[in-house]
Amino acid sequence: MPLVAAAALPHTPQLLVRPDTEDRDLVVRVHAACAEVKRALTDARPDVIAMIGGDHIEGFFLNAVPALAVFVGAEVSGTFDRYRYTFPVHEPLARAIVEQGIEGGFDLTYSQDLVLDYAFYVPLHFAMPEPPRPIVPLYVNVYLPPQPTPRRCYAWGQALRTILDARPERVALLASGGLSHYPGTDRYGSPDYEWDRQLLTILANGQGRQTASLTGDELDKAGNVELRTWITLLGALGEARARVICYEPSWHHGNAVVTWPV
Amino acid sequence: MEPHYFFPPAHAYPLNRFLFALKSNDSVRAGYLADAETTAREAGLDSEAAAALRDLDRDRLVACGAHPYLVFMAGLRLRMAGTPAAFERF
């Protein structure tokens, strides 16, 4: 069955737990944009939320660093501060993605034992449809080099779309991440917002394929290592034109919420 | 120029392992807040890394081979543990 919804959302933890360094009005505007996605997802009535996210060295540490991975357990949990999340996982779809992905030439890692990263549950905190749906966490390595190339991410997204289109479930495909930010570096306070704006224009023009030609160095320089999750989604969406619900640059992070018609 | 998120050097593994625990493990974080010196020593940190961590000195930690993201989130979680009322929860 074709996808029933597609969106990309930020996951910065300051959206969930706001220190006084963050502009409250901006945070609330991003919440409102996420609520718009929540309404769209509710209206789309997906059977499952497949979410492409980048692990923040939470589920995977230096014991094993998969480029691309899928969680294939019965449920998955994560915690942050006083927040506790557990999501049922759509095991048949997760397993089909692993099996057919490997058959299609993508050497995926899978796991039935992972701590869920906030890249997944922060967006779901604000955008999970009513009633809640099971999820499939799809991992793209963004923070531990060498990361998969944008070209590979895009190709994985194309393959993923082929797999999903042949499935019986109504799938909403989301990407979590971005845009420009440099946590833990000396550029933390100076993201590349101009780069973000140019990217969003490209996406609004339906030219997402261009992101497959970016290099890892370009993503790192632009504070957009997490864009690999978006690029994977773009591989699944082809020439669809993005609708930018919001772009809210904070003092350290370009918060973008985007949907695509499917 | 080296990327912002550089390949984690093998010599920094004890430091990165400890930063990972500080960000993700409540009991390790509480233990560190109770006795930083002993906890860092038992985790295998050398004196320079332990001092940089005590000062939450991002640039010194990164110079020791710490993964920048781990520095960021370990620091945030330590601040959250130290001043929980300073954060608004949604």
pLDDT one-digit tens code per residue, A24-75: 999 999 999 999 999 999 999 999 999 999 999 999 999 999 999 999 999 9
> What's the total number of domains in chain B?
1
> Which of A20, A62, A82 is nearest residue B89 as measured by Cβ atoms?
A82
CB A155 within 8 A of CB A209: no
A116 min Cα distance to partner chain B (Å) = 11
Put simply, whether B9 touches A (Cβ < 8 Å) is no
Nearest residue in chain A measured CA to CA from B61? A184
Cβ neighbours of residue A85 under 8 Å, at least 6 residues apart?
Answer: A77, A78, A79, A116, A121, A124, A125
> Would residue B26 count as lying in a domain?
yes
Q: Which of A85, A144, A214 to mutate to test the interface with B (most CBs of B within 10 A)?
A: A144
Tell me the β-bridge partners of A7.
A174, A259
CB A21 within 8 A of CB A36: no
Contact between A144 and B86 using a beta-carbon 8 Å cutoff:
no
> Would residue B30 count as lying in a domain?
yes
ipTM over 0.90: yes
Contact between A145 and B6 using a beta-carbon 8 Å cutoff:
yes
> Would residue B63 count as lying in a domain?
yes
Whether the ω angle into residue B8 lies within 30 degrees of 0, i.e. cis, is: no
Q: What is the pLDDT along chain A (262 residues), one digit of tens a residue?
A: 889 999 999 999 999 999 999 999 999 999 999 999 999 999 999 999 999 999 999 999 999 999 999 999 999 999 999 999 999 999 999 999 999 999 999 999 999 999 999 999 999 999 999 999 999 999 999 999 999 999 999 999 999 999 999 999 999 999 999 999 999 999 999 999 999 999 999 999 999 999 999 999 999 999 999 999 999 999 999 999 999 999 999 999 999 999 999 9
What is the residue range of B30's domain?
Answer: 10-82
Q: Which CATH number fits domain A5-260: 3.40.109.10, 3.20.20.70, 3.40.50.2300, 3.40.830.10?
A: 3.40.830.10
What mean pLDDT is reported for chain A?
97
Tell me the β-bridge partners of A70.
A110, A138
pLDDT digits (tens, 9 = 90+) for A174-192: 999 999 999 999 999 999 9
pTM higher than the cut 0.95: yes
Whether the ω angle into residue A146 lies within 30 degrees of 0, i.e. cis, is: yes
The DSSP line for A87-116 is EEB-HHHHHHHHHHHHHTT---EEES--BP
CA B49 → CA A127, A258, B53, B66, B71, distances in Å?
40, 41, 6, 9, 12
End-to-end CA distance of chain B: 39
CA A210 → CA A143, A194, A205, A231, A238, distances in Å?
22, 17, 11, 9, 10
**Residue in this structure with the two tokens 């999340």, named with its chain if needed:** A85
Neighbours of A125 (CB within 10 A): 18
> Would residue B78 count as lying in a domain?
yes
Q: What's the sign of the alpha-carbon dihedral A86, A92, A93, A96?
A: positive
CA distance B24 to B5: 20
CB B33 within 8 A of CB B74: no
Give the largest CA-CA distance in chain B: 40
Neighbours of A186 (CB within 10 A): 12
